[in-house]
Chains A and B, each alone.
Chain A
């Protein structure tokens, strides 16, 4: 693999179900991010991780949790999905959190919560 992979590509989920979106990068980047993309709202940061073992809250963290057990993986979990979490989710990474670092994005996961 090269870059960032996300799984699944798309998912339809019943409200109240638990769901984990997977993200893996092979660039050995320290920082990773989860965004949701909604029409008219742009990309909004959900959670981020500066380095393995640390996580932080972004702009819209409620209803989501993340973990960073190692450098490569950064899963996003919806503990009990609600329809307002219907969105396209992007994982991204950068060399470091700070300074002028380019963020590299994965292909996205389209999630529909019914």
Chain B
């Protein structure tokens, strides 16, 4: 059972464009939603995260939009750069109680390529 569904599987964007990656979750008890970035040959690293009490969080060119009623959240990369080319994973977890307590459930990943 895939509790977090991510799309698209791959994305090609021109330099300066906006990259948008979407995720949907099933468990309404999830209460923390991080995004991880992975460069080729490396392990994933935390990029940005959001809690469901806010609808948007922005850090530099990266923004998470969160829609609790639709159980969806998305990552927007503004002014995309070739250095942003990487695999992006959304994730979800519970911070208090439940079988998913403290453990991340990841989406399937999106391979982003930004052309110069």
Say whether A associates with B: yes
User: Considering the complex of A and B, which 10 residue pairs feature the smallest CB-CB distances, nearest first?
Assistant: A105-B43, A97-B102, A43-B106, A42-B106, A42-B108, A98-B102, A102-B46, A42-B109, A99-B95, A105-B44
Question: Are A96 and B102 touching (Cβ within 8 A)?
Answer: yes
- Number of residues of chain A lying within 8 A (CB) of chain B: 30
B62 at the interface (CB under 8 A from A): no
B contacts, CB < 8 Å to A? 6, 9, 32, 34, 41-46, 49, 51, 89, 95-96, 101-109
A107 at the interface (CB under 8 A from B): yes
Question: Are B45 and A105 touching (Cβ within 8 A)?
Answer: yes
Bound-complex Cα distance A41 to B44 (A): 15
Bitwise, A39-63 to B at CB < 8 A (1) or not (0) is 1111111001010000000110000
Interface of A is mostly: loop
